[in-house]
């Protein structure tokens, strides 16, 4: 009777161990990576915000507007038991842009939107674009999923900017846009 329970216990232990190890991608023998996903928000849990005045922009002319917030992924990584020093790869999985104000505006006021990541000393890098927008308050952007942003996510001054080309503008209005980013981060496992 004891032997049968021992065998069942050994099989169950082996199965659990296999399932745990199957969740990790091996980079090289003796090293494992862990993949984390984070939805980028500000400290209050809000989407990234971008503001501009219509009178300071021109229809058909691209201009750049930076997010009001900087992004620090350190606290997220620490909660997961990792640090920025352990990040080995990062890419954007998905991105959206939305219109908060003016209330009557929709995403189709944009002819084109280019979402870029920024950090001091690094060139702004395009991670998502879109040049066709629906008549809605929010639209998905086409992500450049192979574009590495590893050097940005490990910085304390990691930021995001939009390069917008308006198709139409409501004169005298203040615009407030939002953006969401879902980032895939690979960290060194134990």
Residue 167 domain-assigned (yes or no): yes
- Where in the sequence is the domain holding 64, given as residue range(s)? 28-188
Is the pLDDT assigned to residue 156 strictly greater than 70?
Answer: yes
Residue 6 domain-assigned (yes or no): no
Residue 21 domain-assigned (yes or no): no
pLDDT in tens, 30-60: 558 899 999 887 656 678 999 999 999 999 9
Find the farthest-apart pair of alpha carbons in the chain and give their distance in angstroms, rounded.
Answer: 84
Dihedrals φ, ψ of 42, to 5°?
-80, -175
DSSP 120: T
Is the pLDDT assigned to residue 5 strictly greater than 50?
Answer: no
Residue 165 domain-assigned (yes or no): yes
CA dist 146 and 158 (Å) reads 19
Residues in CB range of 154: below 8 A, 6 or more apart: 84, 85, 87
Q: Which two tokens stand for residue 12?
A: 């169950």
Is the pLDDT assigned to residue 3 strictly greater than 90?
Answer: no
Domains in the chain, number: 1
Residue 12 domain-assigned (yes or no): no
Residue 3 domain-assigned (yes or no): no
pLDDT in tens, 13-36: 222 222 232 233 434 445 588 999
Residue 158 domain-assigned (yes or no): yes
Residue 161 domain-assigned (yes or no): yes
| pLDDT (0 to 100) of residue 6 | 38
| pLDDT (0 to 100) of residue 31 | 55
pLDDT in tens, 69-123: 888 899 999 999 999 999 999 999 999 999 999 999 999 999 999 999 999 999 9
Is the whole model's pTM more than 0.95, yes or no? no
| pLDDT (0 to 100) of residue 190 | 62
Write the CATH number for 45: 2.60.120
């Amino acid at each position: 009777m004891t032997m049968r329970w021992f065998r069942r216990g050994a099989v169950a232990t082996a199965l659990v161990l296999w399932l745990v190890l199957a969740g990790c991608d091996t980079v090289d023998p003796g090293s494992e990576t862990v993949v984390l996903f984070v939805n980028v928000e500000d400290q209050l849990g809000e989407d990234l915000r971008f503001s501009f005045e219509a009178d300071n922009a021109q229809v058909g002319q691209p201009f750049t507007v930076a997010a009001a917030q900087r992004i620090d992924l350190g606290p997220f990584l620490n909660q997961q038991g990792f640090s920025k020093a352990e990040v080995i790869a990062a890419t954007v999985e998905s991105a959206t842009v939305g219109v908060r104000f003016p209330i009557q505006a929709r995403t189709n006021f944009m002819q084109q939107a280019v979402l870029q990541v920024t950090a001091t000393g690094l060139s702004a890098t395009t991670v998502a674009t879109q040049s066709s927008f629906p008549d809605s308050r929010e639209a998905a952007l086409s992500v450049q999923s192979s574009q590495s942003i590893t050097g940005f996510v490990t910085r304390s001054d990691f930021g995001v900017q939009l390069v917008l080309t308006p198709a139409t503008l409501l004169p005298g209005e203040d615009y407030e846009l939002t953006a969401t980013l879902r980032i895939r981060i690979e960290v060194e496992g134990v």
